[in-house]
Structure 1
Amino acid sequence: MGHNHSHHHHCHHSSGKNLATAFFLNLGFTIIEFIGGFFTNSLAIMSDALHDLGDSLSLGLAWYFEKRSTDQPTEKYSYGFKRLSLLGAIVNSVVLIVGSIFIISEAIPRLLNPQHTDAKGMMWLAILGILVNGAAVLKLKKGNTLNERVVMLHLLEDVLGWAAVLIASIIMQFWNAPILDPLLSIAISIYVLINVFRNMKQCVQIILQGTPEGISSKKIKEEILKREEVESVHDCHVWTMDGEYNVFSSHIVVNENLNLSELESLKCVIKKTLHDKFKLEHTTIEFEQVGTDCEYLGCN
């Protein structure tokens, strides 16, 4: 028992350390990007710097929430602090939307009147970007948590973005094609906006307590009804706290001849089945007998 606790604590500490390393790498390079984008007069670099600023916010929040994930629920916050991640995602999204619109508004005039950029400077920044983001990816690749895996995929996309900047900067060194810079900055900004709106849609779904992606209430009911002791299932609700921690509650009508011990045993079996098959972390079950007036009890 003590060994498991120690192992969990070690994994949690390792996860936080990996995220912290990735955060400081990304934040440091974001500052370099903004300075480099200014001196090379490259909107593509500036737009990717904005993208990396969003990543830094995400990494910082992921690191913070990883540290807070072991906090116990309080009397005021009985479910704990899992939904803080939604607040962080919304703040991050607003920053990225405002920044991306600004970059696009700056890039459109440059399409009509392209400006000279320091292609060689762009190339060296792109190489540095690939190395820094690549190092962060390798650091997080060793992690076991979902938090680390999601952030790792995000940073992997950054490596690909920097590869595009590198190719464009090399082309501009051999051909006079300054229009590539505003084109690339618009492409990066649109890509960022698409991902932001996708994340915002998921946040709204979670806030409205929608059924989590990949989970079907109908299939959950069918699974419960497979038990011969169960007569019917109603008043089912399934939602998620933060996109990972899923919650389920329902009223289950059972045979009249079940005693308290048998009900407890049935409840344990159902909870384990739902956890294993549908990844439901928190399940609340209320048993009823045939003929119980649910409306009288204030149920729906």
Structure 2
Amino acid sequence: MCSHHSHHHHNHNSTENISVAFFLNLFFSIIEFIGGIYTNSLAITSDAIHDLGDSISLGLAWYFQKMSNKKPTKKYTYGFKRFSLLGAIINSIILLIGSIFIIINAIPRIINPEASDAKGMMWFAILGIIVNGAAVLKLRKGSTINERVVSLHMLEDVLGWVAVLITSIVMQFWNLPFLDPLLSLLIAAFILYNVFKNGNESIRIILQGTPKKISIDNIKAKVLTFDEIKDIHDCHLWTMDGQYNILTMHLVVEEKMDWQKVNELKKAIKTMLHDDFNLEHVTLETEVFNEDCAYINCV
């Protein structure tokens, strides 16, 4: 019961964290567009496009995170936890499109550089570090994949603004206008790298791959330490959203075990699996030693 309450409280915090990041990002995106036009800086304008994309995807993430807190229904018997993952995927797609847009606009500016207001860039960079830094601090303790993707976006922005700050200071002392579009390309490359990295994890979850930090071999080894368990059949492990993990398993036991002992054994194994492997939903079925496994594809 305590575990369920803790999980619900965590989901509530996740929703609140994402909503704070959404409003911070949306407000600052508007400021950035004004700043990018005012300073004639492609780096700031590019980051504004990036942040606007973030704002749209953050809004979606906020909506999907709220939806993921709903209780299971007849249509969605596992609940709505995977809806938060859908938000993370849409988020990554928007960032991918935004990064390509930045690259297309940055290359001509490197070939034919245009002067930028370096001092104006510097002040916007300081403001950017403060605003995006506040969002990172709000999200850094999050453990859902949605929060990690959103936190990564905010951290990218902080690092991007640090780079803009350094570049703007350099440009105040030396006439190097190509640094501004070059910085845009570097920011875009960094974003693309992380989009593919996080997209990989999201696809793994959708395809019902095993959770990254849990080994199915370690689970089997631990279950087989129970003397009553002679073998394991039909073992399947997957995750709903990168956090809520599910396991089904057939336990082969001796014929002489009565239902009460089997029930006690199942309870002990479920407790162990929850405590040692963070498995939230475990389904165990028992078979006698000489019984054929009912499934052909037994892992």
Equivalent position of 1:127 in the other structure: 126
- Counterpart Cα distance in 2 of 1:39 and 1:240: 48
Between 115-124 and 191-200, report the one with greater CA deviation: 115-124
Distance 1:149 1:91, change over 3 A: closer
What's the TM-score, normalizing by structure 1?
A: 0.89
The equivalent residue for 2:100 is 101
Cα contact 2:54–2:94 (8 A) shared by 1: no
The answer to whether the 8 Å contact 1:133/1:158 transfers is yes
2:87 paired residue number: 88
* Inter-partner Cα distance in structure 2 for 1:112 and 1:159: 27
Find out whether 1:280 has 2:279 as its counterpart.
yes
TM-score for both structures, normalised by structure 2: 0.89
Contact 2:57 2:90 in 1 (8 A): no
**1:271 Cα deviation from its structure 2 partner:** 1.0
CA-CA distance at 1:196 after TM superposition: 0.8
Residue 275 of structure 1 and its aligned partner are, at CA, apart by 1.3
Secondary structure of the residue that 1:76 maps to in structure 2? coil
* Greater CA drift, 177-186 or 202-211: 202-211
Structure 1 residues 12, 108: CA separation in 2 closer, same or farther (over 3 Å shift)?
closer
| Alpha-carbon distance in 1 for matches of 2:194, 2:97 | 14
In the TM superposition, what is the alpha-carbon distance from 1:49 to its structure 2 partner?
A: 2.1
Partner of 2:77: 78
- Are residues 1:228 and 2:227 paired? yes
Residue 167 of structure 1 corresponds to which residue in structure 2?
166
Q: Give the 3 Å change call, closer, same or farther, for CA 57–276 of structure 1 in structure 2.
A: farther
Q: C-alpha displacement at 1:39, in angstroms? A: 2.9
Partner of 1:200 in structure 2?
A: 199
Distance in 1 of aligned mates of 2:39 and 2:127: 15
Long gaps (5+) in structure 2: none
Do 2:64 and 2:84's aligned partners in 1 also have CA atoms closer than 8 Å?
yes
Which AA in structure 2 matches 1:70? N
Whether contact under 8 Å (2:65, 2:84) holds in the other structure is no
Establish whether residue 60 from structure 1 lines up as the match of residue 59 from structure 2: yes
Alignment CA distance shift 1:222-1:14 (3 Å): closer
Give the whole-Å Cα distance in 2 for the aligned partners of 1:211 and 1:18. 27
Cα pair 2:54 2:95 within 8 Å, conserved: no
Amino acid at match of 1:201: N
RMSD of aligned Cα (Å):
2.5
Identity %: 59
Question: In the alignment, what sits opposite 2:265?
Answer: 266
- 1:48 equivalenced with 2:47 (yes/no): yes
> What is residue 290 of structure 1 aligned with on the other side?
289
Q: Is residue 112 of structure 1 aligned with residue 111 of structure 2?
A: yes
Deviations 1:178-203 (A, max 9, x none): 11111100000011111111121112
Aligned positions, number: 296
Q: Is the 8 A contact 1:140 1:148 kept in 2?
A: no
Note if contact 2:238-2:245 (Cα within 8 Å) is conserved in structure 1: yes
Partner of 1:29: 28
Residue type at the aligned position of 1:130 = I
- 1:127–1:85 distance in 2 versus 1, CA, 3 Å: same
Conserved 8 A contact 2:156-2:191: no
Note the C-alpha offset of 1:106: 1.2
2:175 counterpart residue number: 176
